[in-house]
A = this chain, B = another copy of it.
């Protein structure tokens, strides 16, 4: 009988051994970070700046001169590709052991997980969605940047595919947490607003804008193509 009666106590001790929400989430493999958080964030920031720098070099070598809008989209797509492939790819491969891993990337995920513990518990939806984001969204973000730099007709299809995939994944991701009363999120404003809202909202807003942009441009292009073909047929 005692083992049954002691279960709530054992649960509470277990819960107290990690800082995540819900407090009773099962994270037996959790080990606190051995790095300084500011070092990890500096590494992430430097990596993003490096990608932006490479983007600027690539933009200067573009096939035709780019508009400011297109320059910004190249930088956005390459930064996205880096985040999708490296950071989210790392999560996809290591989700089962992430809570206890001592690497800079695991450290970043342990920090972000304050805003969503599903990243440390191998939550099925989160693992599948991140796998798709890493491989599919990552690849098409690169194709979009290539399409702009090379002035290729693939550009707007790739922009539409990347943006819709990002939007779809992020909407389900945010909405499932909302539907469960944000139970995976530490309610502290830093974690709720600073991490959960602020780090996800850009992948709702920007993909929506870029989808509309792609649809408009494809519409215009297909209309020109339709007329050009009609002229050819009639002449």
A228 within 8 A of B: yes
**Contact in complex: B221, A221 (CB < 8 Å):** yes
How many copies of this chain does the complex contain? 2
Residues 168-184 of chain A, each 1 if its beta carbon lies under 8 Å from chain B, else 0: 11011001100110000
**Contact in complex: A157, B219 (CB < 8 Å):** yes
> How far does the Cβ of A163 sit from chain B's closest Cβ, in whole Å?
10
A153 within 8 A of B: yes
**Contact in complex: B1, A218 (CB < 8 Å):** no
Please, could you name 24 A-B residue pairs with CB atoms under 8 Å apart, sorted by A? A1-B1, A1-B5, A4-B4, A4-B5, A124-B179, A124-B180, A125-B125, A128-B179, A132-B168, A154-B215, A157-B214, A157-B218, A157-B219, A157-B222, A161-B211, A164-B168, A165-B168, A218-B218, A218-B221, A220-B225, A221-B222, A224-B228, A227-B228, A228-B228
